[in-house]
Amino acid sequence: MGYSKSDDAEAYRWDDYAAFVAIAKSSSINQAAKILRTTQSALSKKLSRLERALGVRLIERGPLGASLTYQGERVFNRALAADKELARAAVDARIAESRVEGDCSILMSDGVANYWLSHFMGSFYDCSRGWRVAQPDIRSASTLLCTD
């Protein structure tokens, strides 16, 4: 079967890579279809589209199941690494949703700073555990810099 490389946009369909990874892991298009809750035909189409987009055969189909070609092995290793990074990104997104991150500067005059710092800094700091608090020297205003 001859393959001609398609445009790059078609080579980056995540669902095609997911189908390819499932087939490679299970060594069977039918088994991968069961795992992904889709049809064998749908997975075969995704695999064919990915192979066409990349211009190489990724999987050899045979009576004993599906096995990776040399190029398939290389793409599989990269796809697994990408899948792990996507899983990490999902975890990071969930963690980021539950916390505030970044720099926070509070600018105030010396008089307000002296009052505010003495009355409210303790409770502010209790609510902001893990933050670093610095007071840089600025001529006419006090600055409180809080960073995670």
Domain assignment of residue 115, yes or no: yes
Domain assignment of residue 2, yes or no: no
For residue 51, the domain's CATH number is 1.10.10.10
How many domains would you assign to the chain? 2
| Predicted local confidence at residue 136, as pLDDT | 58
Q: Which residues pair with 65 in a beta bridge?
A: 62
Domain that holds residue 64: 8-96
Looking at the structure, tell me whether residues 25 and 81 fall in a common domain.
Answer: yes
Secondary structure of 48-98 as H, E, C letters: HHHHHHHCCCCEEEECCEEEECHHHHHHHHHHHHHHHHHHHHHHHHHHHHC
Looking at the structure, tell me whether residues 71 and 18 fall in a common domain.
Answer: yes
Phi, psi of 143 (to 5 degrees): -125, 135
Domain assignment of residue 55, yes or no: yes
Q: Extract the tokens encoding 121.
A: 């800094």
Looking at the structure, tell me whether residues 67 and 129 fall in a common domain.
Answer: no
User: Which of the four pLDDT bands, split at 50, 70 and 90, describes residue 69?
Assistant: very high
From the centroid of its chain, how far is CA 138?
40
Looking at the structure, tell me whether residues 20 and 88 fall in a common domain.
Answer: yes
- Which tens digits make up the pLDDT trace of 4-58? 555 566 667 889 999 999 999 999 999 999 999 999 999 999 999 999 999 999 9
